[in-house]
Structure 1
Amino acid sequence: MFLLALSSLIFFFLNKMHSINRGETIRLTNDVKTIKRLNQELEAEIEERKKMEEQLQFYVTTDALTGVLNRRTGMLMLGNAMKEAKRNWRSVTICFVDINFLKQINDAYGHNEGDKLIVAVSTVLKKILRESDSICRLGGDEFLLIMPNCNEEQAQEVGARIERRMEHYNALEQKQYKISLSYGFAEHTPCCSQSIEELLEIADRRMYQMKQGARSVIYK
């Protein structure tokens, strides 16, 4: 009788332990599934936030019309390029570019056509640059090219490439008008103490000389 009671007790105990273990296994399985789901949700949220930050960074640094750097970012890039040039004892050259007769084109063909022209010019300018160079839109019809490790001879070649590219574009597009650009270069050497504003003023003045009908003035 005692053995029967003991056997029943042991059976009950083992059955109870099995039930507990089974329940614990189910709970652990559910916990693992929950943790996996939460991790997936967290990864998705992190990825979404990363995309939003990248989009925000793009909008903050980029010109909305052309997709090149905006003025603020361009000025930061120029300042960094000048510091880097002085640190490595190298030159940095800028090119101030202006679209000729944009106002007249806007008046004759509409601002939508003018916007297309600005985008086309930005595309042409990007194609002549090296990977180390930068381009920003200063506003309106003005662009700035920032070219580290660029000397006088190389700057003259950039000017020649601008001319060739614009001639090719005009021949290809066959518009009722021809796009032309005025541009001026200014070099910042390691021994110079120019500010950003002074360097821009030199390039702007040389661009204006070309715009007034003079020949391309690069380093007068």
Structure 2
Amino acid sequence: MVLFNLDNFESEDAFNEVSLELVRLFATYTKILFERLKVEEELAEKTRLLEVFSYYDPLTGLPNRRLMEELSKKLLALAKREGKEIAVVFLDLSGFKKINDTFGHEAGDQILKEVSTRLKRVLRENDVIARFGGDEFVFIIYDCGKDCIETVLRRILNSLEKPLDIEGQKVQISGNFGVAFYPKDGEEFNNLLRKADFAMYLAKRNKEHVRFYEE
């Protein structure tokens, strides 16, 4: 709402009808301007949120596949220059589906949020983690070979397997990991991701926690 207060202490009839009409028009245009600015601010905020959601998972706040693919290009280019290894890890949660089916999707969402918090807590600052949907997560672990990744995954697994509380009941999840290495297993992210996914499938099928990709 736009309000104007007109004062004149020299004459009672200082404002004739023309002057008042001009003021009314000015007030109307000013109101329209403010409303337009408000709409533009709301549109800018919505655009910002859409951009955030296009790069981040709305449930967990983790990067999504799109952002992971963009970050991977930079990390792989850096690894090539520095002669470093990169571990690409595909994680599928074990036991999540049963919990989701038993307690419902709302409880399942809370589990995913807690898992995401735990994963971020145990990773190094320069490591990248993304949620690819459902109960699948992908990691890019920079400057990390086989010995290094075994230590990292053991730390992740210990964190995952700590009991969770749902409606007063203690539940537990675990995980199956598939790992592919740059440059040994490939030099392009989607190729490494496919191989890590295949290794994860073999780990899940054979009831193993970790499987490294092998030709």
- Give your verdict on TM over 0.5: yes
Q: Conserved in 2, the CA contact under 8 Å of 1:156 and 1:218?
A: no
Write the letter of the residue equivalent to 1:200.
Answer: L
1:198 to 2:198 alignment: no
Report the equivalent of 2:80: 86
Greater CA radius of gyration, 1 or 2? 1
- Write the distance in 1 (CA, Å) between the matches of 2:212 and 2:169: 29
Matches within 5 A, 1:176-215: 176-189=170-183, 193-212=186-205, 213-214=207-208
Instruction: Verify: 1:98 aligned to 2:92, yes or no.
Output: yes
| Runs (5+) with no aligned partner, structure 2 | 1-37
Cα distance in 2 for residues equivalent to 1:197 and 1:171: 33
SS across alignment from 1:135: strand
TM-score by length of 1: 0.68
Q: 1:23-58 CA deviation, whole Å, 9 max, x = no partner?
A: xxxxxxxxxxxxxxxxxxxxxx9xx79x94764543
Moved over 3 A (4+): 51-57, 171-176, 191-194
Which residue matches 2:149? 155
Distance in 1 (alpha carbons) for counterparts of 2:140 and 2:65? 12
Residues matched between the structures, number: 173
The alignment's TM-score, normalised by the length of structure 2, stands at 0.70
Partner AA of 2:74 in structure 1: N
Provide the C-alpha distance between the structure 2 equivalents of 1:112 and 1:141, rounded to a whole number of angstroms: 14
Q: Normalized per residue, which structure has more strand?
A: 2
Check 1:193–1:98 CA distance in 2 against 1; reply closer, same or farther (3 A cut): closer
Identity of aligned residues (%): 33
Which structure has more helix as a fraction of its residues? 1
